[in-house]
């Protein structure tokens, strides 16, 4: 089984638990991100949790103390304990990424990556969000980035669909049309 398939399995199971628990468990993604951040800021902790030389009981004790310090919910702690037991703690980032995508899908959100030639103003972002929501029929979670390779306009990617409103895209379309006519 590939790492992605493993991450998706754990993410689906966690999403089942979180969505069944309702609003009380809405903070689980942020809790797990804070734990992940703690792991990335401490190579010693990460090494202790992934090395087979340290018994699972000691790893769980350490995770329990870190979880208490971060005030993690029981659901987050239990996931971390299962990952320790199954020697999958190194897969936490992949599981979190899949988990967030699955939660968004279950809640009717689509993720859009928007690139623009320059930083968009708040009214421009709101208008773009509204238009993408109208086109897709879903609520949109936007991620904005500046792409110096664009002359002007924006390029939005939602899943495998690309909405190209960039000047470069318009010029390429014009070039194709002119070359097919001639």
Report the 10 Å Cβ neighbour count for 116: 21
CA-to-CA dists, residue 152 to 51, 104, 126, 131, 170, angstroms: 49, 30, 18, 18, 10
Note the pLDDT of residue 150. Answer: 84
Q: Fold for domain 3-105?
A: Peroxidase; domain 1 (1.10.520)
Indicate yes or no: pTM above 0.85.
no
Where do the domains of the chain lie? Answer: 3-105, 109-181
Note the pLDDT of residue 176. Answer: 84
In contact, 29 and 70? CB cutoff 8 Å: no
Note the pLDDT of residue 21. Answer: 67
Note the pLDDT of residue 86. Answer: 94
Encoded tokens for 13: 């199971």
- Per-residue pLDDT reduced to its tens digit, 17-57: 888 866 555 688 899 999 999 999 999 999 999 999 999 99
CATH architecture assigned to 109-181? 3-Layer(aba) Sandwich (3.40)
Note the pLDDT of residue 82. Answer: 95
In contact, 157 and 112? CB cutoff 8 Å: yes
Residues of the chain whose pLDDT is less than 50? none
Note the pLDDT of residue 177. Answer: 83
DSSP SS3 for 168 = helix
Domain 3-105 and domain 109-181, same fold? Reply is no
Phi, psi of 102 (to 5 degrees): -65, -45
Note the pLDDT of residue 2. Answer: 60
Note the pLDDT of residue 173. Answer: 78
In contact, 29 and 103? CB cutoff 8 Å: yes
């Amino acid at each position: 089984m590939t790492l992605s398939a493993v991450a998706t399995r754990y993410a689906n199971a966690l999403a089942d638990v979180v969505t069944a628990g309702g609003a009380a468990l809405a903070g689980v993604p942020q809790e797990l991100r804070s734990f992940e951040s703690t792991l990335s800021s401490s190579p010693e902790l990460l090494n202790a949790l992934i090395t087979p030389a340290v018994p699972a009981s000691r790893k769980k004790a350490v995770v329990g103390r870190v979880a208490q310090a971060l005030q993690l919910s029981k659901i987050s702690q239990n996931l971390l304990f299962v990952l320790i037991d199954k020697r999958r703690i190194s897969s936490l980032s992949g599981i979190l990424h899949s988990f967030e995508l699955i939660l968004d899908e279950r809640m009717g959100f689509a993720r859009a990556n928007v690139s623009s030639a320059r930083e968009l103003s708040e009214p421009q972002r709101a208008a773009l969000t509204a238009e993408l929501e109208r086109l897709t029929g879903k609520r949109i979670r936007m991620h904005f980035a500046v792409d110096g390779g664009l002359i002007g306009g924006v390029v939005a990617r939602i899943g495998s669909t690309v909405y190209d409103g960039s000047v470069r895209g318009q010029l390429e379309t014009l070039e194709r049309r002119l070359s097919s006519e001639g």
